[in-house]
Amino acid sequence: MSTQTRASLQVDLAPHNPRELILRNPVIPASGCFGYGQEYSHVIDVQRLGAFCSKGITSQPRAGNPMPRITETPAGMLNAIGLQNPGIDAFIKKYPPIWEHWDVPAIVNFSADTVEEFAEMARKLDDVPGVAALEVNISCPNIHAGGFCFGWDARMSADVSRAVREATTLPVIIKLSPGAVDIAEIAAAVAEQGVDAISLINTLVGMSIDPVTRRSRIANTTGGLSGPAVKPVAVRQVYQVAQAVDIPIIGLGGIFGLNDALEFFMAGATAIEMGTVCFSHPVAPIQLIDDLQTWLDAQGCASIMDIVGVANPQFRAGKDS
Amino acid sequence: MAAVLGKASAPVREWTGEITANRTIMGDSYLVTFTMPEGLAQHIEPGHFVNVLPSGAGSFDPLLRRPYSIYGIDAAANTMTLLIRPYGRGGQWIVDQQPGQSLNVLGILGNHYEVAPRSSHLLMVAGGVGAAPLKMLSEQAVAQGKSVVYLLGARREDQLLDASELPHAVEYIVATEDGSAGHKGFVTELAANYLTWADQIFTCGPTPMMAALRNVILQHRFGKGPQVQISVERTMACGVGACLGCVVETKKGMKASCVDGPVFDMESVVWG
């Protein structure tokens, strides 16, 4: 008699943090593409997800950018929403009290203009019931550095990571920017600050011009490129970062289905996020959970961890977890 | 004082509908009819829309769903019909699908037009494929015994909706830019004649048309005048209020046209 045991999809994204970030499966809708979870709760079974990332919040309310904010590109899209959000105080009152009653862990994505503001926001979120972890968006301009992107500079990325780490005991994920010249250098600098995990990639800065109007198709002129078009860049950067750090990596960038996700796991990601696909196929994250289970069972794997980093000879990330 | 319209509240499903009919209409547009899941029809109101995937299974290009207002439903056959003018590759792909083939649809999305119980005279002002939600609204209003004047503007005669598409009881008046049928000029110029008659005005069409309608109303109306509900069209990604890519600037801040709209009170919107 063969008793087929099913592969475990469980992943540990904060193995050294007593507050833990253990997900029942490694599938996480990405920030900006899933609202605050509620928007999709009547479309899919949100509670089946491994976790989800909230829309990015800032310390003050933001009205966002003028329209048009999005445009389609070949197998992708550009967006410049401008971080429209109610600000951290209104956010804390409105959403975590809902999430507190949910099974699925909520990861709060946030950004700031200065290192001090990052720390202050992390302090405010530290003991808010319903908040499971923080994802720190460092793909934003540092107003004390002439607007240079935090995430493109190893020292500034480390400064933010250290400040957030000191401000909270919550699991902290630093979300890297693909615009950095040497992504592995940034990742190593971030990991040294004791953060729990790294997620990558954020969108790539892009542009699209309408020949009729002779203007950018986006009011903000430039926007963030996402979707299947960016996937090879994302897989490459996950592969590089997985050789540079030993903390878990969350990979994202153009994942639409099983084969896309497998590329990220095999490059060295312990979990994956799904962004743009939520717009085209809201059921895709749930479908991926089922497809991963079926695939791992068919492969005879005991755990999703069996395939993490298998395509990466110098893989280190999350190995000791 | 702007009336407060409801938010999106109909059930949302992602489904695969089988196309049962696809025919040309209004010259360069198509009426595409396809099946929908049991139990959805009863939730559909005029002004609701769906997001249709403009590519086949496994294709990522074009990537984003296209929003279309619902033109009509057949509750007995459990089908829905959309009026589609293919502006680009995505719309073209959708109208190229033939009966027997399938469409991936996300809906029911958005809020809907709201007819006040006391309103007995309803004015519809439609531009181009903006005809769709107002056709469904007219059918419902006539069935409820209300009087409907339906104004439609197009560039030329062959781009008008055939009168047979509307209930007999509807007073259907047209304008064409080239004068090939009806009033020569813009549909908004016809609206002035009905402003004192109408209890409520409902409009859908290009933004410049709706802005022109607003100017006509502001010039001609007296007192509180009729309440005007507009349905906006924005480039859209998610359709459920998550991405905030489709916002409309209102007097109460940025609102997502997919869940706070697409129907807005005309005076709640900030006009440039």
Q: What is the pLDDT of residues B208-232, one digit of tens each?
A: 999 999 999 999 876 677 899 999 9
Q: What is the pLDDT of residues A184-233, one digit of tens each?
A: 999 999 999 999 999 999 999 999 999 999 999 999 999 999 999 999 99
Percent of all residues in chain A with a pLDDT value above 90, rounded to a whole number = 94
Count of C-beta atoms within a 10 Å radius of residue A209:
12
Out of A40, A71, A283, closest to residue B240 by CB: A40
Contacts of B63 in chain A (CB under 8 A): 72, 75-77, 227-228, 276, 280
* pLDDT (average), residues A250-254: 98
Size of interface A-B (CB pairs under 8 A): 99
A66/A291 Cα distance (integer angstroms): 39
Count of C-beta atoms within a 10 Å radius of residue B74:
14
Residue type, A267: A
Task: Domain ranges for chain A, please list them.
Answer: 26-288
HSE-CB for A230 with a 13 A CA cutoff:
30
Count of C-beta atoms within a 10 Å radius of residue B183:
15
Give yes or no: A140 in active site: yes
B65/B61 Cα distance (integer angstroms): 10
- The catalytic residue among A140, A149, A278, A301 is A140
What pLDDT score does B222 carry? Answer: 66
Burial classification of residue B252, based on how many CB atoms lie within 10 Å of its CB (0-12 exposed, 13-18 middle, 19 or more buried): exposed
- On the question of a cis peptide bond just before residue A68, with omega within 30 degrees of 0, the verdict is yes
Out of B53, B253, B259, closest to residue A280 by CB: B53
What pLDDT score does A1 carry? Answer: 46
Residue type, B155: R
Beta-carbon contacts of B230 under 8 Å, excluding residues fewer than 6 positions away, are: B203, B204, B210, B263, B264, B265, B266, B269
| Contact criterion met (CB below 8 Å) for A175 and A135 | yes
Beta-carbon contacts of A259 under 8 Å, excluding residues fewer than 6 positions away, are: none
**Res. A11: pLDDT tops 80:** yes
- Strand A249-251 relative to strand A271-274, pairing: parallel
Question: Do the domains B13-109 and B121-231 sit in the same CATH topology, yes or no?
Answer: no
What pLDDT score does A321 carry? Answer: 52
The residue among B9, B13, B60, B271 with the most chain A CBs within 10 A of its CB, best to mutate, is: B60
Asked if B254 and A276 come within 8 Å (Cβ–Cβ), the reply is: no
Beta bridge pairs of residue A81: none
**Two tokens, residue A251:** 């990979």
Chain B: give the shortest CA distance to residue A244, in Å.
Answer: 32
The CA-atom distances, in angstroms, between A18 and each of A60, A164, A283 are 31, 17, 33
A307/A297 Cα distance (integer angstroms): 12
Out of A39, A76, A256, closest to residue B241 by CB: A39
Contacts of B64 in chain A (CB under 8 A): 70, 72, 77, 279-280
A308/B204 Cα distance (integer angstroms): 52
- CATH entry, B121-231, from 3.40.50.80, 3.40.50.720, 3.40.50.280, 3.40.50.300: 3.40.50.80
Task: Domain ranges for chain B, please list them.
Answer: 13-109, 121-231
Backbone region of residue B55 per phi and psi (left: phi > 0; alpha: psi in -120 to 50; beta: other values)? beta
In this predicted complex, what is the ipTM? 0.92
Contacts of A55 in chain B (CB under 8 A): 242, 244
Asked if A42 reaches chain B (Cβ–Cβ under 8 Å), the answer is: yes
Q: Indicate the DSSP class of residue B269.
A: B
What pLDDT score does B1 carry? Answer: 45
| Contact criterion met (CB below 8 Å) for A277 and A229 | no
The CA-atom distances, in angstroms, between A125 and each of A59, A122, A191, A230, B259 are 11, 5, 21, 32, 28
The residue among B40, B50, B243, B255 with the most chain A CBs within 10 A of its CB, best to mutate, is: B243
| Contact criterion met (CB below 8 Å) for B23 and B88 | no
* pLDDT (average), residues A119-146: 94
**Two tokens, residue B101:** 């083939």
Q: What is the pLDDT of residues A294-309, one digit of tens each?
A: 999 999 999 999 999 9
The low-confidence residues of chain B, meaning pLDDT below 70, are 1-3, 222-223
**Two tokens, residue A249:** 């990596």
A256/B251 Cα distance (integer angstroms): 38
Out of B11, B248, B253, closest to residue A63 by CB: B253
What pLDDT score does B85 carry? Answer: 96
- Measured in degrees and rounded to the nearest 5, phi and psi for residue A172 equal -115, 125
Asked if A69 and B240 come within 8 Å (Cβ–Cβ), the reply is: no
Question: A135 or B1: whose pLDDT is higher?
Answer: A135
B69/B87 Cα distance (integer angstroms): 15
Does the domain at residues B13-109 carry the CATH identifier 2.40.30.10?
A: yes
What pLDDT score does B127 carry? Answer: 96
Q: What is the pLDDT of residues B51-93, one digit of tens each?
A: 999 998 888 999 999 999 999 999 999 999 999 999 999 999 9
Q: What is the pLDDT of residues A73-111, one digit of tens each?
A: 999 999 999 999 999 999 999 999 999 999 999 999 999
Burial classification of residue B117, based on how many CB atoms lie within 10 Å of its CB (0-12 exposed, 13-18 middle, 19 or more buried): exposed
A111/A137 Cα distance (integer angstroms): 5
A181/B48 Cα distance (integer angstroms): 47
Which class would CATH give A26-288? alpha beta
Q: What is the 3-state secondary structure (H, E, C) of B200-247?
A: EEEEECCHHHHHHHHHHHHHHCCCCCCEEEEECCCCCCCCCCCCCCCE
B264/B267 Cα distance (integer angstroms): 8
Chain B residues within 8 A (CB-CB) of chain A?
Answer: 11-14, 53, 60-65, 90, 106, 234-249, 253-254, 259
How far separated are the first and last CA of chain B, in Å rounded?
Answer: 19
What pLDDT score does B202 carry? Answer: 98
A133/B216 Cα distance (integer angstroms): 54
Asked if A39 and B60 come within 8 Å (Cβ–Cβ), the reply is: no
